[in-house]
Structure 1
Amino acid sequence: MENNNNHEEVISDLRRIVKQKGLKYTEQREIVLSILLHADGHLTAEEIYNQIKKEYPKSNVGIATVYRALSFLEEVDLIASINFGTEGKKYESNMKSHHDHLICTECNAIIEFIDEEIEKRQDKIAKANKFKITSHSMQLYGICENCQK
Structure 2
Amino acid sequence: MVDNEEIIEELKKIVKQKGLKYTEQREIVLSILINAEDHLTAEEVYNEIKKQYPDTNIGIATVYRALSFLEEVDLIVSINFGTDGKKYESNAKSHHDHLICTSCGKIVEFLDDEIEKRQDRIAKKNKFKITSHSMQLYGTCEDCTQN
Aligned partner of residue 13 in structure 1, secondary structure: helix
What code does the residue aligned with 1:13 have?
E
- What TM-score do you get using the length of structure 2 for normalisation? 0.98
Q: Which residue is equivalent to 2:60?
A: 63
Q: Which residue is equivalent to 1:95?
A: 92
Percent of aligned pairs sharing the same letter: 77
Q: Which residue is equivalent to 1:33?
A: 30
Which blocks of at least 5 consecutive residues in structure 1 are unaligned? Answer: none
What code does the residue aligned with 1:17 have?
I
Shift of 1:135: 0.2
Matched residues in 2 for 1:116 and 1:41: separation? 23
User: What is the aligned counterpart of 2:141 among 119, 141, 144?
Assistant: 144
Q: Which residue is equivalent to 2:49?
A: 52
- The reply to whether residue 18 of structure 1 matches residue 21 of structure 2 is no
Q: Which residue is equivalent to 1:82?
A: 79
Aligned partner of residue 114 in structure 2, secondary structure: helix
Ranges of 4+ aligned residues in structure 1 off by more than 4 Å: none
Q: Which residue is equivalent to 1:110?
A: 107
Aligned length: 146
Matched residues in 2 for 1:60 and 1:15: separation? 21
Shift of 1:147: 0.4
Across the aligned residues of Structure 1 and Structure 2, the Cα RMSD in angstroms comes to 0.8
Matched residues in 2 for 1:125 and 1:54: separation? 46
Q: Which residue is equivalent to 2:129?
A: 132
What code does the residue aligned with 1:106 have?
S
